């Protein structure tokens, strides 16, 4: 029996054996290996109805327009700012992502970053490894406590709510900023992000990426957070004005930063690498064995559903 053909934009290397599992079920055109992508689409992919991609590799308007029979884009990951959704909709192409299955692991990492920055875990670890214990941990200052503090969440969606729930476990007051208040939660709503930052001890960024939120956390917001405040970002690097953050951190006008994402990934500002009040991770919020398996399973289920019913299970 002939297997359906799909175009895969990039390797799903973040999920072990993902490419092999997809290839066992479908005839895969490996776009990322094409030496001449435009010619490859013209000569090999004109009959393609389904694209498989990820939140990292996305799908551009140029690719969408080059596929006259395209009907669906199935993406691995929750973010879709790298996919030209407007162009897809204009063409009648449906798009899916992998929501919910990664909420808890991303929220866990947000809290690991928050605690790691507040309690100076990375700094302490470096001092121990450098045999500097006897120097009062090389000047390691007293850290702020986390429990009973104020937690501000930027974007109270699925992941933001999971982060807020964990804050309740630390007996924290929780506030949030959305475009609109939610009526199904008791957390305090701030219609001004500057006011939320002023109120917060810890500001966790969990909103969507893309042009609508670019530099949403800007210099005024960061100044409002202040020299005792810590900002955590597990959303998209573009949400924070990275240059402003580096400048304010270097001046002591922001207390600390814990970042899993960066504005120009994989490039990370050199200044951040040398700051003891900064914790850095390489965009790995969903990188657990269980979550990556669940994400791959949902991609496979979306592909199977579309080829069998013409519908996606988790359309955006």
Q: Which of 166, 177, 283, 292 is catalytic?
A: 283
Res 15: pLDDT:
86
Do residues 188 and 175 make contact, with C-beta atoms less than 8 angstroms apart? yes
Question: What pLDDT does residue 137 have?
Answer: 47
Checking if the pLDDT of 127 tops 90, the result is no
> Would you call 10 helix, strand, or coil by DSSP?
coil
- Cis preceding-peptide flag for 266 (omega within 30 of 0): yes
Task: Please write the tens of the pLDDT for every residue from 260-311.
Answer: 999 999 999 999 999 999 999 999 999 999 999 999 999 999 999 999 999 9
Question: Given 236, 242, 263, 292, which residue is catalytic?
Answer: 236
Q: Which 3 state secondary structure label does DSSP give 157?
A: coil
Residue 313 has pLDDT above 80, yes or no: yes
H helix intervals, 226-285: 242-250, 270-273
Query: At 140, is the pLDDT very low, low, confident or very high (cuts 50, 70, 90)?
Result: confident
Beta-carbon contacts of residue 134 (< 8 Å; ≥ 6 apart): none
Whole-number average pLDDT of the chain? 95
Q: What is the pTM of this model?
A: 0.93
**Predicted local confidence at residue 25, as pLDDT:** 96
Quick check: 71 and 93 in contact, CB under 8 A?
Answer: yes
What does the alpha-carbon distance between residue 120 and residue 143 come to, in Å, rounded to a whole number?
7
Domains, in order of start, for the chain: 5-101+290-309 (3.40.50.720), 103-280 (3.40.50.720)
Catalytic residue chosen out of the listed positions 136, 264, 265, 290? 265
Planar angle of CA 11, 240, 125, nearest 5 degrees: 75
Give phi and psi for 276, each to the nearest 5: -75, -15
265 is a catalytic site residue: yes
Name the percent of the chain lying above pLDDT 70.
98
Between helix 18-25 and helix 289-309 the angle, nearest 10°, is 20
Q: Degrees (nearest 5) of the Cα angle 244, 228, 132?
A: 95
What average pLDDT does this structure show over 7-14? 94
Specify the pLDDT at position 132.
81
21 is catalytic: no
Known catalytic membership, residue 283? yes
Burial class (CB in 10 A: 0-12, 13-18, 19+), 32: exposed
* pLDDT tens-digit map of 165-217: 999 999 999 999 999 999 999 999 999 999 999 999 999 999 999 999 999 99
């Amino acid at each position: 029996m002939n297997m359906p053909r799909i175009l895969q934009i990039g390797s799903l290397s973040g999920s072990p054996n993902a490419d092999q599992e997809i290839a066992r079920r479908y005839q895969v055109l490996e776009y990322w290996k094409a030496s001449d992508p435009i010619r490859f689409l013209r000569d090999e992919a004109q009959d393609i109805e389904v694209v498989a991609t990820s939140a990292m590799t996305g799908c551009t308007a140029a690719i969408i327009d080059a596929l006259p029979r395209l009907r669906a884009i199935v993406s691995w990951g929750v973010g879709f700012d790298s996919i030209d959704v407007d162009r897809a909709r204009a063409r009648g192409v449906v798009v899916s992502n992998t929501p919910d299955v990664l909420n808890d692991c991303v929220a866990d990492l947000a809290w690991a970053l928050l605690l790691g920055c507040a309690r100076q875990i990375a700094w302490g670890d470096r001092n121990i490894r450098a045999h500097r214990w006897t120097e009062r941990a090389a000047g390691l200052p007293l850290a702020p406590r986390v429990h009973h503090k104020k937690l501000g969440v930027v974007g109270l969606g699925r992941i933001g709510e999971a982060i807020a729930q964990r804050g309740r476990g630390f007996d924290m007051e929780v506030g949030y900023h959305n475009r609109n208040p939610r009526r199904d939660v008791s957390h305090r709503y701030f219609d001004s992000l500057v006011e939320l930052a002023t109120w917060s001890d810890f500001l966790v960024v969990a909103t969507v990426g893309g042009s609508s939120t670019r530099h949403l956390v800007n210099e005024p917001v960061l100044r409002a957070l202040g020299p005792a405040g810590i900002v955590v970002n597990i959303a998209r690097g573009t949400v924070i004005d990275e240059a402003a953050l580096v400048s304010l951190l270097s001046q002591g006008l922001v207390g600390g930063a814990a970042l899993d994402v960066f504005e120009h990934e994989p490039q990370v500002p050199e200044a951040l690498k040398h700051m003891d009040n900064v914790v850095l991770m390489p965009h790995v919020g969903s990188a657990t064995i269980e979550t990556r398996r669940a994400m791959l399973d949902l991609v496979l289920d979306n592909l199977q559903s579309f080829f069998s019913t013409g519908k996606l299970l988790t359309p955006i």
